[in-house]
Amino acid sequence: MTAPSTFGLSTEARNLHWLLSNLVEEVPGVHSVTVVSSDGLMLLSSDPGHHAAAESEAPRSGPRGSSADLATIVSGIGSLTVGAAKLMEGGGVKQTMVAMEEGSVFVMSISDGSLLGVHAAPDCDMGVIAYHMALFVGRAGHVLTPELRSELRKSMESTQ
């Protein structure tokens, strides 16, 4: 993973980048991580330089090789589960996990509709990933203000 440039960002934004990088580097089985705003826009990514994978690139471990694809998947899963929870009168959605033959996707609510998404290996320890996601959410949730979301969105746009 290539660390994103955090030059010129606020302390809170740099801390979130560090937390995200740490999640990918320290948790076994994690391929990629993204944070998506309530309106579906990517705010943070473990792979900010690869928003659209070129056809000539070698296959990557993330969905279709693009962090934007993971953000789209996370946003869609989040929307679907919120709708299902409303229909079932189940309250707020805390976490969603999709286990597939070749990997897993985890989605966890952060705050104000923002979501944390993780793409992991099929043999990952789901409990360990869920624990580290909860740590990220606990640390990020209170600082993910509208101002910080705007700063992160602008930062992501500038890397494209």
CATH code for the domain in which residue 145 is found: 3.30.450.30
| Tally of helices (H runs) and strands (E runs) in the chain | 4, 5
Tell whether 1 is covered by a domain.
no
In a domain, 25, yes or no: yes
pTM attached to this predicted model = 0.83
Does residue 29 belong to any structural domain of this protein? yes
Lowest mean pLDDT among 21-30, 105-114, 145-154: 145-154
| Beta-sheet strand order (sheet of 95-100) | 42-45, 30-36, 115-120, 103-109, 95-100
110 within some domain: yes
> Does any domain span residue 51?
no
**Domain contains 53:** no
Q: What tokens were used for 117?
A: 């998404």
pLDDT, tens only, 11-64:
888 988 899 999 999 999 999 999 999 888 899 988 754 443 333 344 445 444
Residue 41 lies in a domain: yes
Q: How many folded domains does the chain comprise? A: 1
Contacts 24+ apart (CB under 8 A), 122-130: 123/29, 124/28, 124/29, 124/30, 125/28, 125/29, 126/97, 126/99, 128/27, 128/28, 129/27, 129/29, 129/30, 129/104, 130/95, 130/97, 130/106
Smallest CA-to-CA distance from 95 within 125, 116, 119, 112 is with 116
Compare 153 and 115 and report the one with higher pLDDT. Answer: 115
- Does residue 136 carry a pLDDT above 90? yes
The alpha helices in 39-107, defined as continuous H runs, are 67-87
Residue 105, helix vs strand vs coil: strand
3-state secondary structure of 86: helix
Is 57 inside any structural domain? Answer: no
Domain membership of residue 38 as a residue range: 16-46+63-155
